Structure 1
Amino acid sequence: MQRIGSALWPSLQCFQVYGANTNVGKTIVSTALCKAWRGKLDLSVHYLKPVSTGPLDDADVNHMAKFAPGVNTKTLFQFSKPLSPHIAAKDAGDIPPDLTVQQRTYHDLSEAVTKADVAIVETAGGVLSPAPSGSVQADVYRPLRLPVLLVGDYHLGGISSTIAAYESLRIRGYDVLAHFIFEDAEYQNSKYLTDFFLGNKVSTIELPKPPRQVEDAMKDLQNMQTYYSDVAASHAILEAVERLGHQHEARIKRLGEMSARAADTIWYPFTQHKGRRPEDIVVIDSAFGDNFDTLSNTMSPEASILTPAMDGSASWWTQGLGHGNPSLALSAASAAGRYGHVMFAGAIHEPALSLAEMLLQHHDNPRLAKVFYSDNGSTGMEVAVKMALRAARTRYGWDHAQEDIGILGLRGSYHGDTMGVMDCSEPSTYNDRIEWYNPKGYWLDYPTVIMRAGRWFVEPPHGQEAAFGNAQSFDSLNDIFDLRRREDAVYTRYIEKTLTELRDAGRKFGALILEPVILGAGGMNFIDPLFQHALIKAVRNRPDLIGTQKLRKPGSLDSWSGLPVVFDEVFTGLYRLGRFNCSSFLQAQPDIVVNAKLLTGGLIPLCTTTASQDIFDAFLSDEKADALLHGHSYTAHAVGCAVAVDSLDAMMQMEKTGKWDEFRRSWATDEVTGEGCWSMWSKEFVTKVTNKESIDGVFAIGSVLALTLKDAAGGGYNSLAAQGLHSRLLDIGDKGWRIHSRVLGNVLYLMTSQITTWETLKNVEQFILESVN
C-alpha cells in the first residue's frame, strides 16, 4: 500500500501554491520565490507542477527553467489541449485517478528530500478548479495538507474571488501561510485584502506587476529577467521566504512539544496515568478520510515526521463519512452562519425539524412518534431511562418514593458514564468504584456469537449449558439471523424462569434496556439475536412476569406492553452494522431508541432519543412538574442537526446506489433483495484469521471487526492479551503507515468508516494477518 498522508520533512520546506483564479500569476510568484531561495539564500529548490495543460513549449516548468536557472523542475501529467484538466484529460483518453495523483505527488516530494532544501507544488487554475478526474483539486491534494501560499486576484472582482478561495481552503483544513498579490492602482485589491488577511493573521506580500509583453522576443526576455532579478532581491520577497522558513521550523517544533505539554495539562478518559509517558501520547496533526496523520517516533531529516494511521476505532465509533469531509464541513459552516446556536425550548428551526422527520420516516417503526434532542449517547440514554420509568410508573401506579424500581438488561452492558445510566449497568470496571454508584436492576446472562476455525457458533455462557443448551454450529451468519427458522423454546424457558423468580422476590422494573446485537464497551460481545428477540417477546407477551397482570392493547404495534423496550443504538445504529437500525436483526421494534455516534458522521456531538406516543403521553399533565424537565443549553444545536441531515442522507444514498455491493458479495448476500448479513471486512479474511493460533474467536458484521485473543488467565477487561497485537499494528516498520486499534481486555477491535474502500481494506487485512502471525 503506497503511503499517503501529510507531507512534512524537517530538511525540506514544502509549500503549495494555489490561485484565487486562473490568470492571477501563480507561476510568476512561484518563479520569484524559487529565484530568491536559489539566488540570495543559496538553497536547492524543487518545483513540481503535478498537472499541466497546453502545449509543452508554454508549460510552466519551462518558464521556471528559463527565469530561475538551477531549479529542478518536473511535471507529472501533461495534457496538450489548453483546457480545464478534466476536459484535457478526457480528450487525451488518459484520466489519472485522484489516488494516483496523490501518490505520485507524494513520491516525487519524498525523492526531492535528498536533493532539495525547498519544494514548491503549483496547482492548475483556481482553488476549486477540477483535477483530471473532475474532483475539485483542493480535495485531491488535501491528504497531503501542504501549507498554502495563496496568490490573490488583482482583477476587477478579485477581492471576492480571493476571499472565497481563502475560505474554501480553510474549510478544508489547509493552513494558509501567506497571501501574494500584484500591485494595481486602479482596483486597489491589495489594499483591501491586506487588511482582510491581517485580520486572519496571514501576511500579504504585494509584488509589482510583470512588464507588458513586447513584440521583440529578446527585449521581452530581458525585461522579464530584469523583473525577476529585482523582485527576487526585494525586501518583500526576502522577508517572505525568511518568514516561511521560520514557520516551517515552528510547526515541527510545535508538533515535537505537544505530547509533553499534553502530559502536563490533559486528564485523559479511560486512562490510568500512573507510569504513562509523554511518548505514549499519539500526536495527531490532522486527519483525512480513514487516516490520522500522526507524529512519527522517527525524527530523521530525510523521513517525513508525519505517519498515516488508519483510524481503526472510527474515532470511538463516530466516524462515518471520513475525516475532513468537505461536504459535512460546508454543512456545518452553513448552519453556523445561518444560526450559530439558537435556543430550542418552545422554538423550532429547519435543521431540527428536518432531522426529526427523517429519523421517524426511516426508522420505519409505527411505535415511534417523538424525537428528543440531547448532546451525546450517555445523556440521550439518561433521557430514555427517565421516559421509560415515568411511563411504567404512570401505567402501573407505582410509588417510586416507596418502591425500588430497576431496569432489566444484559450482563456486560454499558450505556455511558453519567451517573444515572451507570446505575443501569451491573458493577464493572467502569462504575464499581464510583462513590455514588448504586446499581438498580437485574442483568441476564446470554449466549454469544463467534467464528472459530472458519465456522460460526452460538455458545452458552461458560458452565450454563443446562440453562441455554449446548453450543450450536452454523454455516453462515445469515443462518444465525434467520430467526423464523430457529427454535427459541430453551431461551424462553430461561427468561420466563428468571422473570418469575424476580417477580416472586418482589422486584419491580420500569424498562428493558438493550444494546442490540453487540454490547460495545462491555467487551464487544455479539449476542445471539434470537435471545434478544425472545427476551423482548417474553416481556411484551407476559407482563404478569414483571409484576402486573395488565396487558394493554394486545397485539398493538404502537403501544408498549409489559415494559417499555429501549434500544441503545448509540453504537450499533445508523449503518454501523450495515442497516439503518437494528430492528430487522432482532425482528422486534423498540418503544424508545437512542442514536448518536454515526448520527453526524463523526463531525459534531449530537444525540436523539426517539419515543412512542404512549411514552410521550405519560408526561402530559396540568402540572409543569410532570413534564420531562430535561435539557441543556445546546439542545438541538442547529449545526449538529444540519450536519446530521446531510450525513444520514449521504449514507442512505450509498445504500441506495449500491456503494457497499462489493462488500455484500463477499458475504454472499442476496443480490436481488440485498437482504442478509454482511461486513466490510471480507469473509475470506475473517475465516483466515480465525485459524491463527493466538486467536480464540472472531466476528465481523457491518463495519465492526472484533478479535478475541487467547488468554490463559481467562480474559476480561483487565487482560493484557491483546496489547501485543495492538502494539504491532502501531509499529510502522517498513510499511510507512500504521493501524490505530482499540483494546478491551483480551479483545482487540477495529472499525472502518462507511466510505472505506475495498482496496484500502485488503491492505489493512493483510497487515493484520501478518501482525497476528
Structure 2
Amino acid sequence: MSTLFKKLRIHQVFGANTNVGKTILTTSLVRASAQRGKKVFYLKPVSTGPLEDADDNHVNRYTGKYATLISSECLFRFDEPVSPHLAVKMKGADGDAPSDEIFVDSIASRIRHHAKDCSNLAHMYVETAGGVHSPALSGTSQADCYRPLFLPTVLIGDSQLGGISTTISSYESLLLRGYNVDAVVLFRDEYYRNWEYLKPYFAERGIFLETVPPPPPQLANPAEDFLSTDNYYESLVTEDGEIQGIGSVVDHLDTCHVQRLQELESMPRRALDSIWWPFVQHGLVKGGKDVNVIDSAHADFFSVSNKTALEDASSNQSILAPQYDGSASWWTQTFGHAHPSLTMAAAKASGRYGHVMFPQAVHLPALKLAERLIQHGPGKGWASRAFFSDNGSTGMEVAIKMALRAFALRQHPSLKNDEKKELGILGLKGSYHGDTIGAMDACEEGVYTCEWHNAKGFWFDPPTVGIKDGDVSISLPASLTSIPHSESVKAESLTWVYEVENRLHTPLARAYAMYITRALEALKQRGGPTIAALVLEPLLMGAGGMLFVDPLFQRVLIDTVRGRRSGSSSQWSGIPVIFDEVFVGLNRIGMESSGPLLGVFPDISVNAKVLTGGLLPLAVTLTSKSIFEAFLSDNKAEALLHGHSYTAHPIGCEVANETLAMIDKLALSDDWIAAQGRWARDNGQPSSVWSLWDPGFVTAVSKLPQVREVMTMGSVLAIKVQDHAAGYTSQSAQALFNVLNLVPSEDGTLSVAPGGAPFGVHFRTLGDVAYFITSLNTGESVIRSIEDRIWTTLTST
C-alpha cells in the first residue's frame, strides 16, 4: 500500500508514450537531485532488452561527478526488447509472470529498504516502462498495477506530433485512478511546440509543467555518443549551479512532499474544528490521535496516517500505513475501493449525461437497471416496477408510503382520514431502516430515534440464530412462553436452520404461529394501531446488533399476516410485506435476495449499498403490480408524489449496472466455489448458506470463554462478547478488540497487506458485538490474515 516517508521523497515517473524521453528526463531528475546534495535512488522495476540498453544501466553510466550519491537498480530483467508481458512469455515455460501483488510487493520492499538508510532527506525515482497503459508483467495496465503503491507522479509529456493528445489522455487516465500528478515535464521541441498548448491546459488544473531542451542526436561512435550525451546532462547545469528546467521541477517536487506532510499533520485538528461526525460522541474524542486520517483507499485497505511516525522527526517509518476496512465502509464496498471498472462506468455516464430530469423520461442506464432488477435480479418472479431514490433510508420511506397507500385504498371508505394517519407498522425489535423521520417511525423507540419520533406499530422480539461453544442454537425470547423452561433450541446444523420449507411442520413452527396469532389478537383487543404493513430486515438485522433472525420465524410471520401459505399471487393479501434488503441484498450474505430461501416473495423491497459497489449512493424500491396499481388513476393527486432531485441519476445507474455484471461473474469464481465447498454438508452437497469466513475458525472462536456467540453468512462475521451490561452503549466489544487498530511491527508475520506492509484493522462495534465485513471479492489470504489477527487478539486477553 501507499508509503510516505519524512526523509525519503519518492516520485513515480510515467510516460505519455514510448520514446518520449522518459529515461533521459528521469536521469536529469536524478542528477538534479544529486546536484543539490541529495542521496538519490533510481529504481526501474522491469526492464526488457539487452543490458547495455537498459535504463538503469543508462543512469549508472551518466552519474557523472555525482556517482557517490546515486544508486541505480532493476528488479525484473528480460532480454527480449518487447512489452514486459510478452517478454515473460518469450522466456519460456518456466517464465510465468509474477502476479501484480508480488510485483508491487517487490517495489514496496525496496522503498522501505532505502527509507531505513536515510539520515537526511533523500530522493527516489521509480521509472515505469512505456506508456501509462503499457502492460505490466502480468498483462495488467501499469496504471492499475502500480495503483496500490499510490506514489506521487511525474508525467513525461510527448513533445512530438500527436503529443498533445497523448499527454492529455495519459494525464486523464492517471486522474481517473486517483493519482496525484505533481508535475508534467517534456522536451522543448521548437517545431511542434506542444508545450505552448499544454502549459496553460495544465496551469488551469493546478498542475506544474516544465520544459527541458531536447538531447543531441545519437552518434554512431559509442565513445563520441557518450561524450555528447554526458555534455548534454552537464549543460543543463549553469555556472551558478542552477539546473535549467529540471532544477525547478526538483524544487517543486520537494515542495509538494513538504505540503503533503503538513496537510496530513494538520487534518485531525482541522477536522475537530469543523466536522460533526455521524454516530460519534464528540465528547469521547480526546484529540487528534483519535481521528483516523485516510490519505487514500484501494481494494480492501485504507492508507492512513501513522501519527507516531508523523510526530517523530527522526522516524524512518512510513507516515502512512495500510488499514483493513473491516466494516466494508458501512457495508457498502463490493469490490474494494477505487475499482477501475466502476470508476470508468461513472466517468462514462458523467460524460454522456451528467444528471438529467427523470419524471416521465427515460435514459438507458436507468432502463437497463430497472429491467435487470425486475427480470433477472431480486425482483424476479414478483416485481413489476422499480422506483429510484438516493439512499436506503429514503428508499424505505418510499416503500412505506406505497404500502400504507395500498392498504388505505383497500380499506376505503371504512378508514377515516385521521385513522389513516395512525396506521401502524408490524416488525421486529432491533430493526433499523434509516435515520429519516418516516423510517424511524417504522421502528420501536431506541438509541437511533429522536424527539419527533413517533413509533407507530408493534414489534415482536425475534428468536435468533448463533453458534455457541461449537453448536448451532436458536435463542428464544422470554415472550415465547409456549415452549416451557427453554431459552434455546439446539439445531441439527446451520444448514438445517435455513431449510425453511422442511421446518414448517415442526413443533417450533407451530409455537411461532401460536405466539404471533395471540400477540396480534391481544394488540387488537387493547386498541392498538391498525397494522397496515409488515416491514422486515430478512435474515439479518444489522444496526440492531447483527441479529441473525431465525428464518422460520420470519416465514411464519409473513404467512400469518397474509392469512395464507406464501406462494405466487398477483395480489397482495392481508397486509403488504416489505423487505428491507439494503444491507443483506445482492449477495452481502451470500444470496442475491432472501426470498428464495424464505420461500416467500415480498410485495415491496428495497436495495442500496452493494447496488453501486460502494462508489456512490443509489437506492431502488421494487414493487409488485398490485401495489403499483393502488396509485394508478386519472387523478394526479393519487399518484406517488415523492421524488428526489437526483432520482435515477445516470452515473449511479451506470455504476449499478456494472456492479451487477461483475457480481454475476464473481458468483462463478474459484474463490466463491471454494468458500461454498468449505461450508458444504457432510455428504458434500451444497449448503443453503455459506460464508467467506472459514467454518473451522468460526467454530473455534465460538468456544472461547470471552465469546458469547458467533455467527456468519456471506461476507459478514459477528462476534458477541460476554457482557452483563449488553446493549448499544456498551463499550465491551470495542475495548476487547481495540488492539486490532494497531499496526503490527514490521518483523511480525501476521497481517501483511498487498505491498508487503503489516496492517491494522479498522472495525466497528454495536455495543457488545464486533462485526467484520469483507468485500465480495476479498482474497482468501487477506481473510485468513484477519482471522489470525482476531484469534490472536481473543486468545491473548
Global fold match (TM > 0.5): yes
Instruction: Report if the CA contact (8 A) 1:366-1:557 is conserved.
Output: no
Secondary structure of 1:426's match? coil
Q: CA deviation at 1:50?
A: 0.7
Amino acid at match of 2:185: F
Q: CA deviation at 1:532?
A: 0.4
1:376 match: 391
Output aligned runs, 1:430-469, within 5 Å.
430-431=448-449, 434-462=450-478, 464-466=480-482
Is the deviation greater in 511-520 or in 295-304? 295-304
1:10 match: 6
Aligned: 1:564 with 2:560: no
Task: Select which of 64, 67, 71 maps to 2:62.
Answer: 67
Q: What is the RMSD of the two structures over their aligned residues, measured on CA atoms?
A: 1.7
Secondary structure of 1:446's match? coil
Amino acid at match of 1:89: V
Output aligned runs, 1:676-755, within 5 Å.
676-713=688-725, 715-734=726-745, 736-755=758-777
Secondary structure of 1:458's match? strand
2:316 match: 302
Q: CA deviation at 1:725?
A: 2.8
Aligned: 1:766 with 2:788: yes
Q: CA deviation at 1:658?
A: 4.5
Change in CA separation of 1:606 and 1:65 when aligned onto 2, cut-off 3 Å: same
Amino acid at match of 1:292: F
1:26 match: 22
Q: CA deviation at 1:463?
A: 6.8
Instruction: Report if the CA contact (8 A) 2:632-2:638 is conserved.
Output: yes
Is the deviation greater in 76-85 or in 152-161? 152-161
Aligned: 1:47 with 2:42: yes
Q: What is the rounded CA distance, in whole Å, between the counterparts of 1:627 and 1:673 in structure 2?
A: 49
Count the aligned residue pairs. Answer: 755
Instruction: Report if the CA contact (8 A) 1:365-1:589 is conserved.
Output: no
| 1:484-522, Cα deviation, whole Å (9 max, x unpaired) | 222211111111111122233343111100000011101
Change in CA separation of 1:536 and 1:203 when aligned onto 2, cut-off 3 Å: same
1:547 match: none
1:410 match: 428
Aligned: 1:365 with 2:380: yes
Q: What is the rounded CA distance, in whole Å, between the counterparts of 1:691 and 1:74 in structure 2?
A: 51
Instruction: Report if the CA contact (8 A) 1:320-1:754 is conserved.
Output: yes
| 1:143-178, Cα deviation, whole Å (9 max, x unpaired) | 110000000112221111111110110000100000
Q: What is the rounded CA distance, in whole Å, between the counterparts of 2:98 and 2:171 in structure 1?
A: 27
Amino acid at match of 2:76: F
Q: What is the rounded CA distance, in whole Å, between the counterparts of 2:641 and 2:585 in structure 1?
A: 26
Q: What is the rounded CA distance, in whole Å, between the counterparts of 1:600 and 1:728 in structure 2?
A: 32
Output aligned runs, 1:579-658, within 5 Å.
579-658=591-670
Instruction: Report if the CA contact (8 A) 1:726-1:742 is conserved.
Output: no
Q: What is the rounded CA distance, in whole Å, between the counterparts of 2:491 and 2:234 in structure 1?
A: 77
Amino acid at match of 2:489: Q
Instruction: Report if the CA contact (8 A) 2:567-2:601 is conserved.
Output: no
Q: What is the rounded CA distance, in whole Å, between the counterparts of 1:123 and 1:455 in structure 2?
A: 54
Instruction: Report if the CA contact (8 A) 1:669-1:678 is conserved.
Output: no
Secondary structure of 1:660's match? helix
Instruction: Report if the CA contact (8 A) 1:368-1:558 is conserved.
Output: no
Q: CA deviation at 1:536?
A: 0.5
Output aligned runs, 1:20-419, within 5 Å.
20-39=16-35, 41-68=36-63, 69-70=67-68, 71-92=70-91, 93-116=95-118, 117-232=122-237, 233-276=242-285, 277-299=287-309, 300=312, 301-361=315-375, 362-397=377-412, 398-402=415-419, 404-419=422-437
Q: What is the rounded CA distance, in whole Å, between the counterparts of 1:275 and 1:617 in structure 2?
A: 51
Identity %: 45
Instruction: Report if the CA contact (8 A) 2:472-2:492 is conserved.
Output: yes
| 1:358-410, Cα deviation, whole Å (9 max, x unpaired) | 10022253321110000000000000000000000001122242352101000
Change in CA separation of 1:250 and 1:383 when aligned onto 2, cut-off 3 Å: same
Q: What is the rounded CA distance, in whole Å, between the counterparts of 2:125 and 2:782 in structure 1?
A: 29
Amino acid at match of 1:90: K
Q: CA deviation at 1:731?
A: 1.4
Amino acid at match of 1:234: I
Q: What is the rounded CA distance, in whole Å, between the counterparts of 2:59 and 2:47 in structure 1?
A: 13
Q: CA deviation at 1:562?
A: 0.5
Secondary structure of 2:418's match? coil
Q: CA deviation at 1:198?
A: 1.1
Q: What is the rounded CA distance, in whole Å, between the counterparts of 2:104 and 2:523 in structure 1?
A: 62
Output aligned runs, 1:413-432, within 5 Å.
413-431=431-449
Change in CA separation of 1:225 and 1:569 when aligned onto 2, cut-off 3 Å: same
Q: CA deviation at 1:114?
A: 3.1
Instruction: Report if the CA contact (8 A) 1:393-1:399 is conserved.
Output: no
Q: What is the rounded CA distance, in whole Å, between the counterparts of 2:523 and 2:594 in structure 1?
A: 28
Q: What is the rounded CA distance, in whole Å, between the counterparts of 1:763 and 1:694 in structure 2?
A: 21
Q: CA deviation at 1:674?
A: 5.3
Change in CA separation of 1:366 and 1:505 when aligned onto 2, cut-off 3 Å: farther
| 1:645-695, Cα deviation, whole Å (9 max, x unpaired) | 001110011113454112112212699985521101111111111122211
Task: Select which of 500, 503, 527 maps to 2:549.
Answer: 527
Secondary structure of 1:235's match? coil
Q: What is the rounded CA distance, in whole Å, between the counterparts of 1:708 and 1:628 in structure 2?
A: 42
| 1:23-50, Cα deviation, whole Å (9 max, x unpaired) | 11111111001101112x1100001111
1:483 match: 500
Is the deviation greater in 303-312 or in 485-494? 485-494
Q: CA deviation at 1:467?
A: 5.1
Q: What is the rounded CA distance, in whole Å, between the counterparts of 1:541 and 1:178 in structure 2?
A: 69
Output aligned runs, 1:494-533, within 5 Å.
494-506=515-527, 507-533=529-555
Amino acid at match of 2:511: V
Secondary structure of 1:450's match? strand
Q: CA deviation at 1:218?
A: 1.5
Q: What is the rounded CA distance, in whole Å, between the counterparts of 1:717 and 1:611 in structure 2?
A: 33
Instruction: Report if the CA contact (8 A) 1:368-1:610 is conserved.
Output: yes
Q: What is the rounded CA distance, in whole Å, between the counterparts of 2:762 and 2:110 in structure 1?
A: 27
Secondary structure of 1:566's match? strand
Change in CA separation of 1:685 and 1:400 when aligned onto 2, cut-off 3 Å: farther
Instruction: Report if the CA contact (8 A) 2:677-2:686 is conserved.
Output: no
Amino acid at match of 1:385: I
| 1:392-429, Cα deviation, whole Å (9 max, x unpaired) | 00011222423521010000100000001101100111
1:667 match: 679
| 1:78-132, Cα deviation, whole Å (9 max, x unpaired) | 1111111111012221311110011110010000113351111010111111111
Amino acid at match of 1:418: T
Instruction: Report if the CA contact (8 A) 1:392-1:510 is conserved.
Output: yes
Q: Which runs of 5+ in 2 are unaligned?
A: 749-757
Instruction: Report if the CA contact (8 A) 2:482-2:511 is conserved.
Output: no
Amino acid at match of 1:19: G
Amino acid at match of 1:408: L
Q: CA deviation at 1:726?
A: 3.2
Q: What is the rounded CA distance, in whole Å, between the counterparts of 2:732 and 2:32 in structure 1?
A: 57
Instruction: Report if the CA contact (8 A) 1:569-1:593 is conserved.
Output: yes
Q: What is the rounded CA distance, in whole Å, between the counterparts of 1:560 and 1:363 in structure 2?
A: 18
Instruction: Report if the CA contact (8 A) 1:366-1:558 is conserved.
Output: no
